[in-house]
Amino acid sequence: MVSHDAMMDQALVLAARGRGATSPNPMVGAVVTRGDRIVGRGFHARAGGPHAEVIALEEAGEEALGATLYCTLEPCCHTGRTGPCVERIVGAGVRDVVVGVEDPDPRVNGAGIRYLHDQGITVTVGVRRQAATRLNEAFFTVKRRARPFVTMKAAVSLDGRIAAASGRRTPLTGPAAIGHAHAVRAEVDAIAVGSETVLVDDPLLTARGANRRRPLVRVLFDTRMRTPPSARVLTTCAEGPVVVITTAAAVEAWPTRALTLERAGAVIEALPTRDPAAAMSRLVAYEVSDVLLEGGAVLHRAAWAAGVVDRVRLYVAPVVLGPTGVRWMPAGRFSFVALAGRRTRCLGEDVLLEADVQRFD
């Protein structure tokens, strides 16, 4: 007998193939079965492209009649860049639909399930709910919290420091950790840093050595308008927008700096106050569902204090920088062991530590 869990796992594997390509849409996978046979498979490959259910039903063809459809996310019932999936499901003659988790989009939010019920289709909801929710944690964060999913990332020494001294660029991690960090950059919608990082490291903020399929938004938090127009990141505007998050007061105080940055290719976002939560929410307008908050310490501390961090990712290098080094977090303000879902992984000589701060499942 077919296991709902086993078939949903198949759909989840398919859904994950869209990672890094579907935002601001969710990743979705679908499987059509007859008895113990899979007769159709599909996944959402890119924003604006066919939905997983439609692809799976097209592959199933006539065998979709009386079949069971497994879908990681509630089928849509509205018209966006594609038509409503629920109508295609009904038209194909599917008898049963098994859903991983309800769609939090207010245009759906249970309406797709109700539509299928009203058309006489049996709907089972919540199979592998935790995995289905976690797969689309960025999408859920945008819909439920009106801001992107934020991962706070830092490379630190064994004694919790990020640089040997203030203002000194201090590479810490080895090739394996660097490769991993760039692979993650290839999947997220945006990378964010503070102005101190721009001044000290002058980073490109691109995904190097990794295949990226969409433009990458780069976000510079700069309430003192210190970013120079010669910053290397401004030479990469062809790869995606460079957005400078600042305040209206800063633009008023330094209008020439703002104008110079705009002429260099930056987009200036002048907010009323220095509020990390408001800044993150503003990024949704750029179709940003997840942000990699790369530093430095001032930005990380502000985001942590504002409660907008969803995940912590630390690359720990086997070095000690000593008391003159720059602390990542003040003593007593941050405890990794207090976080949920802690995970560790060796990357060459470095160790990757990850943990969840806020979760939906």
Residues known to be catalytic: 53
Q: What is the DSSP string of 134-183?
A: HHTHHHHHHHHHSS-EEEEEEEE-TTSEEESSTT-------HHHHHHHHH
Amino acid at 79: T
Q: Give yes or no for a contact between 317 and 350, defined as CB atoms under 8 angstroms apart.
A: yes
**Structure tokens given for 316:** 């720990």
Residue-level length of the chain: 361
Closest CA to 358 of 304, 316, 286, 315: 304
Token match 């997840």: residue? 290
SS3 at position 296? coil
Task: Check residue 210 and report its DSSP letter.
Answer: S
The residue ranges of DSSP E strands in the chain, in sequence order, are: 29-34, 37-43, 68-73, 96-101, 122-125, 149-156, 161-163, 190-194, 217-221, 242-247, 267-271, 290-295, 311-316, 326-327, 340-347, 350-356
